[in-house]
Amino acid sequence: MSIQQLQASKQGGTFSQVTAPIPKPDSHEVAIRPKAVSLNPIDWKNLHFGAMVSAWPAVLGIEGAGVVESVGSSVTSFKPGDEVMSWISRNQFNGAFQDVYTSQETWIARKPSSLSFEEATSLPIGFLTGGAAVAVGLKVALPGLSKPDSTAPQLKSILVLGASSAVGAAAVQLLRIALPSATIITTSSAAHHAHLKSLGATTCLERSAQEDASALKAASPGGTGVDAVLDAVGACGDSPAVFDALRSDGPKLYSLVLTRLGIEFPPGLQAMMVGGYDLVSKYPDAMEYLTKLLEDGKYQLPVKVEVVGKGLSAIEGNLDKVMKVSGTKLVISL
C-alpha cells in the first residue's frame, strides 16, 4: 500500500506531493492517519533555515490529530481506530504532512470526544513545551503528574513572557493548576488580556512592559519583583530588562523555552532552557495527563484555532502565515 507525502524539495524550496510506501511503526510506535495537522513556526523555520532537517527532500510537520492506523508490537495504550492527538519528533520522511505518520507511544494522547480533530491538533506542542517550562524549568509540581521537590523553592509570583503564544497560554493554565494562590503576571498585546485572565493570569501587562523593569516590578507583590520568570518567546534576547524583574533576594529562577540560542544570563540566575521533549522524557505519562485535564475541565484550548485550508495541497500556501499571527493556531483539515 502507498500514501501521499508532501515533500519539501530543499531549504527554501517548494513542496510537491510524492507517492511513498505506507510507514510501518517500530515496536514502541503508533502509525496515525491524520485528520488535521497544525502549522507551527518551527515548520516555517525548518523550510527556510533547515533548523531541524537532516537531509532534503523532507516531510515537515510536528503536530497532528487523527485515527490510529496500526501499532507496534510493544504498544499497549492504543489500538487501530482510536482517535488521538500527537507530537512527532520527525526524521527526514516522518513528519505530519502526509497521509500516515508514526509517533512514539508516549508522545500520543487519546482525543477527548468533546474536541474536533482540528482543535486536538492544536494542543500537544503548547502543552508539552509549556509543561516543560513549568515542571522542569521552574521545578513546579503538577498535581497528578509530578511530585513536589523538597529542594525546590516555593514560588509565590511568576512572570510569564509571551503569554499569548500557545506555549505561554498553556504555561499560565498549568501554573494556576499547580499554584492556586500564586500571583501570575503576563505580558502580551492588550487584545489577549481578557483571555489570559480567564486562563488564570492575575495581572496582564502590555508587551511593551518587557522593556521596562520598573513596570514589571510594580506589578509584583509589594513591588519588589517576582520569584521566577517563564519566557515562552525568548523575550530576554531583545529585552534584558526582564532579568531585573526578578526579586533581588528571591530564588531567581528563569525558565526559557528553546526558541533562540546564544543568550547570556546574568550571574546568580538559576536559568534553564527547555523543550517539549524534556517533559515527556521525565514524565512519560504527560500526554495521558493532558487528556485527563481536558476531560476534567481543568484545561482548555490555550489559543484560538483557525482552520485555513483543507488537504495537503493547502499547506504550502498557508505556511508563511504562521509568522504573522498572534494568539492563534493555524490548522489544516485533511
Where are the chain's structural domains?
A: 2-122+303-333, 127-279
pLDDT band at 261 (very low <50, low <70, confident <90, very high): confident
CB 172 within 8 A of CB 163: yes
pLDDT tens-digit series, residues 267-316: 999 999 999 999 999 999 999 999 999 999 999 999 999 999 999 999 99
| Distance, CA of 280 to CA of 278 (rounded, Å) | 6
For residues 226 and 246, what is the distance between their CA atoms, to the nearest angstrom? Answer: 5
229-201-232-191 Cα dihedral, nearest 10 degrees: -130
CATH architecture of 127-279: 3-Layer(aba) Sandwich (3.40)
160-203 pLDDT tens trace: 999 999 999 999 999 999 999 999 999 999 999 999 999 999 99
pLDDT(260) > 80: no
User: Of residues 115 and 260, which shows the higher confidence score?
Assistant: 115
Q: What is the pTM of this model?
A: 0.96
* 2-122+303-333 CATH choice from 3.40.190.80, 3.90.180.10, 3.30.70.20, 3.20.20.190: 3.90.180.10
Q: What is the pLDDT of residue 90?
A: 72
Answer yes or no: are the C-beta atoms of 327 and 303 closer than 8 Å: yes
Residue 209, pLDDT above cutoff 90:
yes
Strands 253-257 and 270-274: parallel
Burial pattern 239-278, b for ≥16 Cβ within 10 A else e, equals bbbbbebbbeebbbbbbbbbbeeeeebeeeebbbbbbbeb
Asked if the model's pLDDT at residue 262 lies above 80, the reply is no
Return d(Cα 143, Cα 28) in angstroms, integer: 27
pLDDT recorded at residue 26: 96
Rounded CA separation 204/187 (Å): 6
321 three-state secondary structure: helix
